[in-house]
A and B are shown apart, each in its own frame.
Chain A
Amino acid sequence: MDKILKAHGSGGKYTHDLIKNLFVKHFCNDPLSELQDSAILNFSGNKFAFTTDSHVIRPLFFPGGDIGKLAVCGTVNDLAVCGAKPLWLSCGMIIEEGFEIANLEKIVISMQKAAEESGVIIVTGDTKVVESGSADGLYINTSGVGVIPDNVELSLKNVQPGDSIIISGNIGEHASAIISAREEFNIETELESDCASLNSLTELLIKKIDTIRIMRDPTRGGLATTLNEFVENQKFGIRVFEENIPIRNEVIGLCEPLGFDPLYLANEGKLLCIVGQDDANKVLQILRSFSIGKNACIIGEVIDNPNGRVLLKTRIGSDRVLDMLTGEMLPRIC
C-alpha cells in the first residue's frame, strides 16, 4: 500500500495498521503506545487524561446534531471513557473560503451548548481559512484535558472470564442518520444521531461500581470493531449474543438494502463497558436512570476460550466469528 485510501480513515483494520506501523513506530512513547482513547499522564501526583480528535463530516448539519456538537461530545467522550472528569477543551477550525458566517455561528453556539451540558469550557482556539475547494466547508479539531480521580484504574488487565459486556443503548444510529441525511442515497428515515456526551454516565458508574474494568465509546467501525479492540492480544475472548444487542428496526431497515451491518456502524453517544458479572445489574440500573441510557443491555460475556476473538452467538444458536471492519463500507449489489 503506497497511498492513503479512504479506508485508512474508516476506523477499521486499515486505520489500526496505519497507527501502529507509522505513528506509534515513530512517535514511540509510553502513554501513546497504550493506544487508549486518551493518553493518561502523571503530573505532580495527579493523573490527567489528554486527547484530540478532528471532525470531518458531511453534511455539517444532520438530524440529532451538527459538526459542532459532535466535536465537543466526541472529545468529552474520549476523556470520559478513560475515567476522567473532562474539564477543558480547545477548538481549532479549518474553514473554507466562502463559508457562511451565519452557519459558522450556528455551529459555534451548538458547541457552547454541548460544552455547558458536559460541564466543560472551551478555553483556547485557532482559526485557519483555506482556499475555496481545498476543504469540505469546515473541519473542526478539538483537544481536551480531564482529571482522573485517584482510585480509578481502568485497564484490560483487570478483565476476567465471566465479566459482562454492557452497551448503553441502541447501536448504529449516528451513522444511519448521516447516511439518510446524504442526498446520494435518497433514503428517508426518522432516525437521529445519538451524538451525546457520556461523562455524566461514566462519572456515576465510576463512583458507584468497583468492578468497571474498561469503558469505550464505539465510534468509527462500530460495536464490532471496539469489541475486537478489547480482545486483541489478550488472554480472553468475548461472546456476544445477537439477540441481546439493541438495534432499532429502522436501522436494520436502512442497512439491509445497502448490504451494511449495524454492528459496524458508528455511534457517537454510546458507552460500551466490561464490568464484573455481579455488578452487571447495578450497572444497568445506573445507565437506565439516564435518558441516553434507557435502552442499556447486557450483550455478552468475557470467555477464556477462544482468546483474542469475538464470537457472535447467532439467533439460530451457533457461534461465528465477529471480525473488525475491513475496508470502507460501500453500498453493494451482492
Chain B
Amino acid sequence: MTIEKSDSMNYIEEYRDSKITRAILQEIFRHNKFINTNYMEICGGHTVAIFKHGLRDTLPANIKLLSGPGCPVCVTDISFIDEAIELAKKKNVIIATFGDMLRVPGSYSSLMKEKSTGADIRICYSAMDSLKIAENNPDKEVVFIGVGFETTAPAIGVTIKTAKQKRLQNFSVLSSHKTMPNAIRALLDADEVAINGFICPGHVSAITGTTMYDFVAKEYNIPCVISGFEPSDILETILMLMKQTNTGEAKVENQYTRGVKKEGNLKALEILNDVFVPIDIKWRGIGLIPSSGLGISRRYSEFDTRKKIKIDLPLPKEISGCICGEIMRGVKTPKDCTLFAKVCNPENPQGACMVSAEGSCGTYYRYMPDMKK
C-alpha cells in the first residue's frame, strides 16, 4: 500500500490497517523496558476501541491500561437521572434525549421504564432534532437531557442559541454537562492509583485544545498524549507515552494532529462560554467537584429547565453493592464487583457503567470471555 490521497479514503479504515498496527506494535516491544506501567485512558471511547479491536492482549504484559472517568453516561449522578425521570412523568412534558441515557437506572426507575408506561420520550441523534419536536408540539414543554463533555456542550449551545433566535417558548435543557480538567485533578489528588501516563480524549481536545492538560504534566509530572480513536492511533499514543516514561519526561503531546489544534476550536469555545457558566457538579462515584459542570448562563435562563419547571426529587437511593464509582476512579475493576454478571448485566443493569456502551462494566461484559463464569 502506498499512501496517496484518494477518493476512497475515509480516514477510518486506513488507521485500522493491520500492517500499520503491527508495525507500531513492533516498535512498542522494541521500546519496552519491562517496568510495570499504568496508563489510563480517560475516555470511554478509547476503552471501547481498545476492547473492540482487542488491543489489550497485544501489548507487553507490563503495560496495563486503566479505564478512567470519561463516559458521560457513567459519571452522571443518580439524582440527575431521578430529575429526568420526574420530568418524564409530567403530562405536559416531552423528553428529548440521546439514546445513551434511556437505560441508565435512577433510584427507582429509568427513562426506558417510564417510556414503556407511556411517558413521551423521544430519542434524538442531534440536539437540533429536539427543536423540531418543540415546534411540532407547541402545547408541550420539550426538555432536552443535556449530557456530555466539552465535545457535546457547544452543540447544545448552538441548539439553545437557535431556540432563542426562533423564540421558542416551549423548549429547555436540563443540563448536566461536565468538563474534564477538574475531574482529572480530583482523580490525581485522591491519589488512589499509580498513573504513569494519560491517554487523553481526542474529541474533547478538539474543542478545548491541548493546553488544558499542561497542569497534569507540570504539577503532577505525568505524561499526557492526546489520542485519536482508531487502533493505530491508540497504539501510537501508547508508544509516545512509553518514550516519555523511558526518558523520565512529562509533557503534553498530540498524536491526534488531524483533529486537534493547539488552541482548540475557538468558535466552539466562544459559544460554550456564551451559553454556559462553570458550576460545581456531582460526579457519580467521585462526588462534588468544583467548577466541573456547565450550567446555563443567565443570558439564556429562559431555556434552563430548572428555572422553568419545579421538580420534586425523591430521596436518591444508590444501588447497594455497585462499585461503579471506584471502577471509574481506576481503583477497582468490574472483576471486583460481586454483582457483575450475576445480578448485573446489560439487560438488568444495576449501575450506569453496565448500561453505557462505553462503561467499563458493559465493555468487560461484552468483550471479556472469562469474566462471566
Contacts and interface: CB of A to CB of B under 8 A. Distances in A.
A–B interface present (Cβ within 8 A): yes
A319 B147 CA distance: 34
Interface string A298-318: 000000001001010011111
Given A316-B18, A327-B346, A334 B44 contact: yes
A101 interface: no
B99 A332 contact: yes
Contact of A5 (B57, B116, B123, B358): B116
Interface in A127-158: none
B347 A331 contact: no
A100 interface: no
B88 to A, nearest CB: 15
A333 B98 contact: yes
A326 B152 contact: no
Interface string A247-277: 0010011001011000000000000000000
Nearest to A311: B369
A243 B18 CA distance: 10
Contact of A316 (B21, B44, B112, B148): B21
B196 interface: no
A327 B113 CA distance: 13
B369 A306 contact: yes
Nearest to A187: B125
Nearest to A309: B369
B231 A316 contact: yes
Contacts of B117: 3
B99 A316 contact: no
A30 interface: no
B191 interface: no
B366 interface: yes
Contacts of B56: 318
B322 interface: no
A1 B358 CA distance: 24
B116 A4 contact: yes
A323 interface: yes
Interface in B319-373: 345-348, 356-358, 365-369
Interface stretch (B47-55, B236-244, B269-277, B294-302): B47-55
Contact of A321 (B72, B123, B367): B367
Nearest to B132: A184
A331 B126 CA distance: 10
Contacts of A14: 347
A316 B366 CA distance: 18
Interface string B99-117: 1101100000000110011
Given A316-B54, A316-B231, A333 B347 contact: no
Interface in A1-47: 1, 3-7, 13-14, 17
Contacts of B2: none
A102 interface: no
B10 interface: yes
B315 interface: no
Contacts of A259: 357
A3 B102 CA distance: 15
Interface string B45-74: 100000111111110000000000001110
B18 A334 contact: no
Contacts, number: 105
Contact of B125 (A7, A306, A331): A331
Contacts of B218: none
Contacts of A17: 347
A18 B60 CA distance: 43
Nearest to A325: B346
Contacts of A6: 116
B91 interface: no
Contacts of B102: 330
B129 interface: yes
Contacts of A253: 10
B262 interface: no
A5 B112 CA distance: 8
Contacts of B71: 334
Given A3-B117, A321-B366, A334-B72, A316 B346 contact: no
Given A333-B72, A334-B73, A185 B125 contact: yes
B3 interface: no
Contacts of B148: 333-334
A113 interface: no
A259 B98 CA distance: 12
B369 A315 contact: no
A208 interface: no
A57 B177 CA distance: 36
A316 B53 contact: yes
Nearest to B8: A249
Contact of A334 (B55, B129, B356, B368): B356
A106 interface: no
Given A330-B123, A332-B100, 11 more contacts: A1-B347, A4-B116, A5-B112, A315-B16, A317-B22, A320-B52, A320-B367, A330-B100, A331-B123, A331-B125, A334-B357
23 contacts: A1-B347, A1-B348, A3-B117, A7-B347, A13-B346, A14-B347, A249-B10, A252-B12, A256-B12, A309-B369, A315-B16, A316-B18, A317-B58, A320-B52, A320-B367, A323-B366, A327-B346, A331-B98, A333-B100, A333-B152, A334-B44, A334-B73, A334-B358
Interface of A: 1, 3-7, 13-14, 17, 184-186, 243, 249, 252-253, 256, 258-259, 306, 309, 311, 314-321, 323, 326-327, 330-334
Closest 6 CB pairs of A and B: A330-B99, A318-B54, A326-B346, A318-B57, A314-B54, A332-B100
